[in-house]
Amino acid sequence: MLSVSQGGSPLPGASATSPLLPGAPIVVVPPKEAPVIITGVGYDVSYPQCRSTLPKDAAFAIVGVNGGAPLTSNPCFAEQWAWARRSSAHAIYVNTAYSGIGEPVAYGRKLIEDAIEREHAAGVSGTAMWWLDVEVGNWWRGTTQENATVLASMAARLQESGVRVGIYSSPQQWQEIAGDWEPGLPVWNATGPGTQKRAAKSCTESFAGSTSAIVQWVEKAGPRLLDHDLVCPLWRTRGGDILDVSGR
C-alpha cells in the first residue's frame, strides 16, 4: 500500500441490479464499541518496509499480513507486528483480488483462511480488527458483482471469527472494483502522495456506504517514503470500531 493507483484498465461491469450475486453471505454492521479516543499520526507497513527502521511515535499501526497480493506472505510480518503492538492501537490488513476463475464465495473464503494461516504461522492471533485492502493494482477479472461477492465473502468469513472488518480503498477504486455495493463497514481512504493537511480534507468523502474513518497519505519519514494515517474527526472517539485497542 505504499503507492496508490487511481487508474488502470476499466473493469467489467455487472448487468444485474443487485450489487452481489445470489447466495452471497450477509455482512453485518456491528454495534458501536465503547468510546475510545484516537489522536495523532499512525502508520501502516508491510513487506516494502522490511529491514527498515520504523517510527517510534506511532499513535496506531496497521500491518499487512500478505506480500502485496493474496496467497503470499509478508516475510517481516512477525517483526512488524511486534513493532505495532508497542502502540496502544493496531490492526492487520489483508490483500484482496479475484482472478475471475472459481466460485466467488468460495474464492473469498479461501483468501481469508489462507491469510489467517499466515498470521498464525507468524505467531500472531486474536487480532480484533482486520482491513480488506481493495486496490486496482491487484488482479480483478470478474464483474463488479462477482468482485463485490468475493469481498463480501472475505468480510463475512472474518466476522465469523469474531473480527471487526473495514475497507481500505478510495472512492474511485471502490467504484471500479465493487460497483454499487455498500456494506456500511468503516472505510480507510487512500489519498496518495501528499500531506496531512491535504489528506484530512478527504475525511469528508464517503464510499462503500460509510464516511471515511481513516485517511492515508504517503510522504517521507526520514529518508524513505512511508504511509501515514490519521483518524477522521467523526471517528476520533470510535477507536474500538476501527482498531484493536485491547492493549489500552
234: cell is: 467523526
25, part of any domain: no
Number of domains in the chain: 1
Instruction: Provide the pLDDT for residue 192.
Output: 97
| Rounded-to-integer distance, Cα 179 and Cα 13, Å | 8
35, part of any domain: no
Query: Using only C-alpha atoms, what is the Rg of the chain?
Result: 17
pTM assigned to the model: 0.93
Instruction: Provide the pLDDT for residue 221.
Output: 80
Instruction: Provide the pLDDT for residue 10.
Output: 38
23, part of any domain: no
20, part of any domain: no
169, part of any domain: yes
Listed as ranges, residues in the chain with pLDDT below 70 are 1-17, 248
3-state SS of the chain: helix, strand, coil percent to 5?
A: 30, 25, 50
Instruction: Provide the pLDDT for residue 248.
Output: 64
Domain containing 145: what range?
A: 41-242
78, part of any domain: yes
14, part of any domain: no
CATH code assigned at 50: 3.20.20.80
178, part of any domain: yes
Instruction: Provide the pLDDT for residue 222.
Output: 76
